[in-house]
Amino acid sequence: MLGRLALLIALAIGIPVGVSLVKPHVPSFRQPAEIYSGGTTYPASPVGFEFRELGPPVAGLPLITNVQIFDFDADGQNEVIACDALGSRVLLLERQEDGSWEESVLIADVSVPAHATVVDIDQDGDLDVLVSVLGNMMPDDGVIGRLELFERRGDQFVRHVILDNVRRVADAQPGDFDGDGDIDLAVAVFGYSRGAVLWLENLGDLVFRDHELLNAPGTIHVPVGDFDQDGDLDITAIVTQDEEELWGFENLGDGEFRARRIWMTVNLDLGGAGLVSADLDSDGDLDLILPAGDNLEDFDAYPQPYHGCCWFENQGGWEFEEHRISDLGGTYAAAVADFDGDEDQDVALVSLTNNWLEPQNASVVWLENDGQQNFTTWQVAASPLHLVTVAAGDLDGDGSADIVAGSLNVRRPHRRLGRISAWINEGKIAP
């Protein structure tokens, strides 16, 4: 009896103790909830692209805001011009005979350069450089932007501030807008809560007078071209932030413009990220290509269903028809070129904020045009991450269109880092 009593007492004490000891180690048989994945990935490109990091190896968190492919020294071979916001400078990358790339500082001491425009602004036969100065990478509504002209004099550049006391400047594009034979400028003052689209009238002697075309925050790019095919140059602009509007400024002559809102969306979260003009359908007029996926207002952005790329087909008479041609999450920049050599225009896109938790999600894609403007998306790369700028052109002198892109590493994860990256077109891969 006593033995039974002792056993029962031991059980009465032991069972709760045992249960509490065992409980944390009991495996759960519940099926874990499925984790949603909103990123985008695509089939591998049928055109081969060989990856190259241009310039020195990555150190720290590079902040490249713009890349362009341009034959800067007119030697028949393209260079890469890059804006380095981290180093406050504009870089020139030149291909060497052994195929390597050498980097040098083209212009130093420019505060967060957003764009470098190469143009012979004083028409003296050499190339000058206009730098659009943001002044701060982070959201800032201060009057800290500038447009700085670096006038080429022999081997030197001489600095002239041609637009000051404005908010952050994101882009400047040249054109003779008033038909007086000199080069004027269209300027995107991005700002933050306040901004503007301006045109600067060239008064001679490197003096420019600013004229406001539109008062709106978040203007990123101002492509210039004869959009209405009436023989003079017009200006277009993408206005982002909460506005998300596409504007055209029809040149009426004598420095007069008619503002036309070409398109808008009420979707304040679209994230318009730039604007490219090109004749995408090869019908002889200029279309517009809008990459969308800028959600930098979030600490950690995630792909949204409306991210991607829109092609605005020029129908004439300032009518543009919208076509959505890509759904790449976090799309930040676009470039147009014929990547597969079939004589139609394709599009390269890069992503700043795809879902980077999934290692296979795309950071670079190209959209193959079937000639009828039906586009198939092909993945070029899933690394490096955080790409904000892309350009297309022949980097290796073989006549095919290569891709160069720049990384802006401001957001997590700080992994798979890049700086100035290139993908050299190796032609179609045999099936």
Site for other proteins in 359-388 (CB under 8 A): none
Residues 6+ apart with CB under 8 A from 223: 173, 235, 236, 275, 276, 277, 288
Is residue 5 a contact point for other proteins (CB under 8 A)?
A: yes
* Total binding residues toward other proteins, as defined by CB under 8 A: 84
Site for other proteins in 307-346 (CB under 8 A): none
Site for other proteins in 391-420 (CB under 8 A): 409-415, 417
Among the listed residues 305, 317, 399, 431, the single contact to other proteins using CB under 8 A? 305
Site for other proteins in 167-196 (CB under 8 A): 193-194
Specify whether the CB–CB gap between 367 and 326 falls below 8 A. yes
Element (H, E) at 160: strand 156-166
x/- mask, other proteins, residues 117-136, rule CB under 8 A, reads ------------------x-
C-alpha of 140 from chain center: 19
Is residue 52 a contact point for other proteins (CB under 8 A)?
A: no
Among the listed residues 70, 263, 306, 318, the single contact to other proteins using CB under 8 A? 306
Q: What residue type is 376 in one-letter code?
A: T
Min separation Cβ 216 and other proteins, Å: 8
- Of 77, 79, 169, 166, the residue nearest 118 (C-alpha): 79
Is residue 304 a contact point for other proteins (CB under 8 A)?
A: yes
Beta carbon nearer to other proteins, 48 or 87: 87
Among the listed residues 252, 357, 374, 397, the single contact to other proteins using CB under 8 A? 357
| Binding window for other proteins (CB under 8 A); candidates: 25-33, 283-291, 341-349, 390-398 | 25-33
| CA–CA distance, 388 with 274 (Å, rounded to integer) | 10
- Residue 394 burial (CB count, 10 A): 17
Is residue 158 a contact point for other proteins (CB under 8 A)?
A: no
HSE, CB side, 13 Å, CA atoms: give it for residue 57. Answer: 0
Q: At 9, give phi and psi (nearest 5°).
A: -65, -45
Beta carbon nearer to other proteins, 61 or 127: 61
| CA–CA distance, 251 with 226 (Å, rounded to integer) | 9
Beta carbon nearer to other proteins, 33 or 430: 33
| Binding window for other proteins (CB under 8 A); candidates: 42-50, 74-82, 205-213, 371-379 | 205-213
Residues 6+ apart with CB under 8 A from 59: none
| Binding window for other proteins (CB under 8 A); candidates: 5-13, 171-179, 226-234, 343-351 | 5-13
| Binding window for other proteins (CB under 8 A); candidates: 2-10, 172-180, 248-256, 388-396 | 2-10
| CA–CA distance, 110 with 88 (Å, rounded to integer) | 5
x/- mask, other proteins, residues 234-273, rule CB under 8 A, reads --------x---------------------xxxxxx----
Angle at Cα 184 formed by Cα 183 and Cα 186, nearest 5°?
135
Is residue 162 a contact point for other proteins (CB under 8 A)?
A: yes
Beta carbon nearer to other proteins, 105 or 252: 105
* Whole-number Cα distances in Å, 424 to 51, 209, 279, 399: 6, 42, 24, 11
Is residue 36 a contact point for other proteins (CB under 8 A)?
A: yes
C-alpha of 431 from chain center: 32
